Structure 1
Amino acid sequence: MSEWRPTADFAALGRRAQLLSQIRQFFAARGVLEVDTPLLASAPVTDPNIEAITAQSPSGEGQMYLQTSPEFAMKRLLAAGSGPIYQICKAFRQGERGRRHNPEFTMLEWYRPDMGLDALIDEVAAVVALASGSADVARMTYQQVFEMHCHLNPHTASLVELKACAGQHLDLGFDSDDRDLWLQLLMSSVVEPALDPEQISIVCDFPETQAALAKIAVNGEGQRVARRFEAFYAGMELANGYDELRDAGELVRRIGDDHRRRGLSGQDLPPIDRYLLKAMPYLPECTGVAIGFDRLVMIACKAERIDQVIAFPLERV
């Protein structure tokens, strides 16, 4: 019986430790402060695509949540005047288990006051290069990658056109009138696999409806788009970055929209983080990004499965 043994070999664990050290040196050289925030939170994200793992309050009264990201707590630090900060920490998400997913995983997240998205993208590429070595960087808009691989404009295509495109590429056993669901399905199943695995692909200007906590802007064609990007390399999504929303009223509106969507699908309606709402008026202009650290280690080790780069996945704890 070997169930007690780690799934990662010690060469991979050694490379993991080396990469942690390299990342800390990277941010220290740039004057970015490492911070540490609680794993337990009174309120989780409300995004319908992310489910938090719950825990009983230490007082025995009420429910708390294991963080899905340190974002809310880090934004409170930013609002209090921390300046540029980063964190390497554990994050937890319900139901995420697979070749590249474990419900408990390690996240690298950082925030840059007064830094634009272009400069933040340069930093993301430099961090990925710590794991991958030198790689070309290609920057494309969400519209460009959809026109290239799906032959439609994602901002103007009808629901019928999106469904038809999905039917051409995928064996579908369901139907939905949720336009974003079809866009996300096409992105993950058609566009992402077609991106060059040998280059760092940056996809920006997502649809307004997929803004999450990013600002909204108008592109050159007059379409409202999210000031948000994702980074891909070696066939994997690695990073999700925002020009951060600072409007508390808009945040409440978006949470309400999340709750509406959750209600329609029968999901729980999580509470709103009251501390974040109070901090929002003090949040400086900033950009921020989160990277799945375990995936960086997978790249560094040329691993096919997350189990090869973490000591004890879900089934061994």
Structure 2
Amino acid sequence: MNLAALHERASLNQQVRVFFAERKVLEVETPALSQAGNTDPFIDSFSVNTPHGLRYLHTSPEYPMKRLLVAGAGDIYQLCKVWRRDESGKRHNPEFTLLEWYRLGFTWQQLMHEVADLLHTLIPHLQKPPRFCSYREAFLESVQLDPHLATEAELSACAQAHGIAISGDMPVQAWRDLLLTHCVEPQFPTDQLTFLYHYPASQSALAKIQQVDGQAVAERFEVYLGALELGNGYQEQTDSAQNRLILVQDAHTRGHDIPVDERFLAALEHGLPECAGVALGIDRILLCRMQRDDLKQVIAFSWEVA
């Protein structure tokens, strides 16, 4: 146990609360257990048997927080524990702390700047202004390939040219992800935040989609320090039918092992206000703040000894 990390975390949490109090953003709490889990094919929920039936530990407070937005809560944030069935390692712990907030009337561009303001407060050794770069620009700089136009064969050849040996066929998005993690992200500066935006529409999740230079792109961003991803932000999709379509398609892709959150979808039919939202990993931010390289150095008890 690192006692210094306990004090730093307490200080960081206090700074978060002051930051949002100054902006009149309301702190809220929502349930950690739900009757429906996350249907995203790339995120796995933990389930718990209770006397009232199966419940799922939340992977994010997104759905209940959006229900609060529909109910008129206004700008809100939450600091909470979340659980995902990820592997445990230097940068992953299946139980971690998430900071999530929603700003009514904000664009995703405005939200990026607010995220930068908060992260510069929480990681004081950051001196350089943030870097803003589109997904396409990052690929062109790193691997000289347009990820929106490249075919599966071109992406595969690019990966092989950069020493990535993968046998067998993969879909286009899987090749993009591989190049992003192995070739693009490692080139991000370690002394400056990088905001990557305009992801392919296939990675929109519950973000809006727009046309840019003839390509459909997601109105979302991710923020990094070096190659370490700190968070995801979205121009939230407000169309209830589109939200339902995405969740049902995700559930079908998963094989319907996770029930769709019908309470969330029913709330959206009453009208989600135009907003932008973001989720940041507090443990990773603390890792950067303390300039450490392993989550075990900044959390009280790692997964293995919890």
Counting only pairs closer than 5 Å after superposition, residues 246-257 of structure 1 correspond to structure 2 as 246-257=238-249
Q: 1:11 and 1:88 mapped to 2: Cα distance?
A: 21
The aligned amino acid for 1:222 is G
Instruction: Identify the residue that residue 297 of structure 2 maps to in structure 1.
Output: 308
Q: How far apart are 1:137 and its partner, in Å?
A: 0.7
Instruction: Identify the residue that residue 232 of structure 1 maps to in structure 2.
Output: 224
Corresponding residue SS for 1:316 = coil
Counting only pairs closer than 5 Å after superposition, residues 202-281 of structure 1 correspond to structure 2 as 202-219=195-212, 221-263=213-255, 269-281=257-269
The aligned amino acid for 2:254 is R
Instruction: Identify the residue that residue 3 of structure 1 maps to in structure 2.
Output: none
Q: How far apart are 1:123 and its partner, in Å?
A: 0.9
Corresponding residue SS for 1:155 = coil
Q: How many residues were matched structurally?
A: 303
CA contact (8 A) 1:131 1:299 kept: no
Instruction: Identify the residue that residue 99 of structure 2 maps to in structure 1.
Output: 108
CA contact (8 A) 1:234 1:299 kept: no
Corresponding residue SS for 1:314 = coil
Q: 1:77 and 1:42 mapped to 2: Cα distance?
A: 17
> Which residue, 65, 82, 86 being the options, matches 1:91?
82
Counting only pairs closer than 5 Å after superposition, residues 26-175 of structure 1 correspond to structure 2 as 26-59=19-52, 61=53, 63-133=54-124, 134-175=127-168
CA contact (8 A) 1:129 1:135 kept: no
Q: 2:251 and 2:162 mapped to 1: Cα distance?
A: 31
Q: 1:174 and 1:261 mapped to 2: Cα distance?
A: 23
Deviates more, 1:232-241 or 1:203-212: 232-241
Deviates more, 1:167-176 or 1:190-199: 167-176
Q: How far apart are 1:242 and its partner, in Å?
A: 0.2
Q: Runs of 5+ in structure 1 lacking a partner?
A: 1-5
CA contact (8 A) 1:19 1:130 kept: no
Q: 1:226 and 1:132 mapped to 2: Cα distance?
A: 28
CA contact (8 A) 1:228 1:243 kept: yes
Q: 1:158 and 1:88 mapped to 2: Cα distance?
A: 41
Q: 1:88 and 1:98 mapped to 2: Cα distance?
A: 22
CA contact (8 A) 2:86 2:92 kept: no
After TM superposition, the score normalised by the length of structure 1 is: 0.92
> Which string of whole-angstrom CA distances, capped at 9 and with x for unpartnered residues, describes residues 26-51 of structure 1?
00000000000110011122111110
CA contact (8 A) 2:199 2:220 kept: yes
Q: 2:51 and 2:68 mapped to 1: Cα distance?
A: 24
Corresponding residue SS for 1:290 = strand
Q: 1:141 and 1:234 mapped to 2: Cα distance?
A: 16
> Which string of whole-angstrom CA distances, capped at 9 and with x for unpartnered residues, describes residues 176-235 of structure 1?
33211111111111111111111110011100000001001111x111110000000133
Instruction: Identify the residue that residue 272 of structure 2 maps to in structure 1.
Output: 283
After TM superposition, the score normalised by the length of structure 2 is: 0.96
> Which string of whole-angstrom CA distances, capped at 9 and with x for unpartnered residues, describes residues 249-286 of structure 1?
112222233234334xxxx6311101111111321000
Q: Runs of 5+ in structure 2 lacking a partner?
A: none
Corresponding residue SS for 1:315 = coil
